[in-house]
Structure 1
Amino acid sequence: MMNSVEIRRLIEEITSAELFEGDYGDCVFNVDAILSGVEETDRKSVPADYLEFLADFGFGELDAAFYVDEGPEKYSTICGREVEGYEGIYIIGGNSSDVLYAFDAKNNWQVVEVSSELDGFEVLASNFSDFILEKLKCIKSMVERRAAR
């Protein structure tokens, strides 16, 4: 996985912060369990860096601003119905408000943001490694601001 040393450092800094209240770090090694919410036709295409992340760094709540699910789940499963235009969307995390982070399997598994405030979804990164690195940097910055108060 790209940037694994920096990712590990950021996660350790976030989880060791004095005000850390998350529940993060359970690792998942069973790929079949991780991919249980993914359609059979899409399973071979799930990004390897995402699977490595779950095995090496885990899942859970890093902050109220970000949690990582233990595996992708179809958007339609979460909504309870099919939504036109969201057929290839697999939710991989979110925050404590209404923002979800997902893979768009129909567009090279890029990472997108799904929000009730958006009409559709917004592309955040072309790959999981870039997405998670930027998200961790943002969380670390928020943790530091809270500690400074």
Structure 2
Amino acid sequence: MKNKEQLRLLVDAVTSSEDYEGNYGCRATGTDATLSSVDESHRQQVPGDYLEFIAEFGFGELDAAFHLDDGPERYSTICGREVEGYEGIYVFGGNSGDVLYAFDAENNWQVVEVSSESDGVDVLASSFSDFILEQLKYIKSLVERRAAG
């Protein structure tokens, strides 16, 4: 996983904040449970940096602006039905609004955003490592603004 020390500092900065109210930090203990909702044909391709992150740094609600699930879930399972064009979408997190963060298994496991306000998915990053670094920087800035405010 890229930027491990920087990720650790960002997670620590958020979770040690005076205003922190999340439940972040439960760690994934085994890939079988983590990948239980991933189709058998896709399990070997789930990004290693994602699996390493939730094993080392954990999952849960880091902030109202971001939560990380304990494993990817098919988008169709969350919706309760198959959605054309979303067959390879595996949701791994989101925010307290209507935004979901997911992997697109059909497109090199890029990180995408799924929102009820758009008609498709928006590519956010080519890797989980790049995505999580930017997400944690953003959350830290929100925490700092709240503390100053």
| Pairwise same-fold verdict (TM > 0.5) | yes
Q: Distance in 1 between matches of 2:116 and 2:79?
A: 12
The match for 1:117 is 117
The match for 2:62 is 62
* Deviations, residues 41-70 of structure 1 (Å, cap 9, x unaligned): 000000000000010000000000000000
Two-structure CA RMSD over aligned residues (Å):
0.4
The match for 1:144 is 144
The match for 1:88 is 88
Is structure 2 residue 72 aligned with structure 1 residue 72?
A: yes
Q: How does 1:22-41 map to 2 (within 5 A)?
A: 22-41=22-41
Provide the aligned length of Structure 1 versus Structure 2.
149
Q: Distance in 2 between matches of 1:44 and 1:76?
A: 20
Q: Point out 4+ residue stretches in structure 1 off by more than 3 angstroms.
A: none
Q: Which residue identity does 1:61 align to in structure 2?
A: E
Q: Distance in 1 between matches of 2:6 and 2:37?
A: 29
Structure 1 residue 131, shift from structure 2 partner = 0.1
Structure 1 residue 29, shift from structure 2 partner = 2.0
Q: Report percent identity of matched pairs.
A: 69
- In structure 1, stretches of 5+ residues that fail to align are none
Q: Which residue identity does 2:50 align to in structure 1?
A: Y
Q: Distance in 1 between matches of 2:26 and 2:134?
A: 21
Structure 1 residue 7, shift from structure 2 partner = 0.3
Q: Distance in 1 between matches of 2:48 and 2:97?
A: 28
Q: TM-score, normalised by structure 2?
A: 0.99
Q: Distance in 2 between matches of 1:12 and 1:130?
A: 18
Q: Which residue identity does 2:65 align to in structure 1?
A: A
